[in-house]
Amino acid sequence: MFKESFKLSEISDFLGGQLSGDGSITISEIKTLLEADKGSISFIYNKKFKKDLEATSASAVLISKEYINHCKVDYILVANPHESYAKLTQLFSGNLRKKISNKNYADSYSKDGIEIGKNVFVGKNVIIEKGTKINSGSFIGDDVFIGEETYIHPNVCLYHSVRIGKKNIIHANSVIGSDGLGFANNEDSWEKIEHLGSVELKDNVEVGASCTIDRASLGATILNNGVKLDNQVHIAHNCNIGKNTIIGAKTAIAGSTVIGEECLIGGGCGIVDNIKIEKGVRINPMTFITKSIKKPGIYSGGSVVLEHSKWLKHITIQKKQFDD
């Protein structure tokens, strides 16, 4: 969906930065430091990614002064790389929110056992494979792919560029491909980070009613083969859920977290961002996970109701036991 490309000099001028390198280079994508290659631009705003900066194959990087000596490729010097990255995503997103899709292509899909219900909207360049059923009131955005024999219940929303594998079931009112929570602070307000990635549901995935699966900021949010979600589950941007993992109702998983294969996650759990949970882990209901789990097993974190002073003592003991 996003096909914009710009000269490096144009990007530097747009951001008000200081260019060091070849301004005639064409930049067609924004990628992370490790995924970046020729024709892409990346960014660094946290020192924990310093080694990634040194190893990047990006054509250029957005950096601040503290990282100049660690950068081996062309760069644009800016005061706040995170804010500049946010502005750059807006440039690359083009006219995403400046127009509405008015032409409905739903009537174009009437062969190979495909069934489209009443009041379904299908955007342009959509691929729907044989045997798929889409119930009334659903929205299918531009450039979506839906694999064979998938069943979509009423009032489902698939944002642009989402990819759905074969034999999936998506229950009513679920939203797949909405933006994640991404903003950069620019002192007195928040600069929106446009999410240029997508969502990929592999095969035999089931999504419960009223779930939300956010698109990746860059790359893809992925639910692998056989993943099952109960109702009202939230999967944030750039998460990767391992095959045959089951997640209970009202669990929320924050951005860029990786869940291993064949995990069982109970209802009402909270899982923080940027951690990894090992294959075969079982997490009991109402557990709050704040760090990576590196060993398979059964984990519980719910607490009984106590007076606050007693609860503080209780939670301190729990934390010490977990750290051990």
Q: How is residue 242 annotated by DSSP?
A: P
Residue 150: which residues within 8 A CB-CB, separation 6 or more?
129, 132, 133, 164, 165, 166, 167, 168, 169, 170
Of 82, 153, 195, 237, which is the active-site residue?
237
Residues 6+ apart with CB under 8 A from 63: 43, 44, 53, 71, 75, 76, 77, 78, 81
The 8-class DSSP code of residue 312 comes to: H
Query: Helix, strand, or coil here: 247?
Result: strand
Q: Which helix (H) or strand (E) holds 6?
A: strand 6-7
Phi, psi for residue 128 in degrees, rounded to 5 = -125, 120
Helix (H) or strand (E) holding 139: strand 139-140
For the CA atoms of 276, 177, 147, 243, the dihedral, rounded to the nearest 10 degrees, stands at: 10
237 as an active site residue: the answer is: yes
Token duo for residue 184: 């950069």
Angle at 172 between CA 168 and CA 178, to 5 degrees: 80
Q: Which residues are catalytic?
A: 237
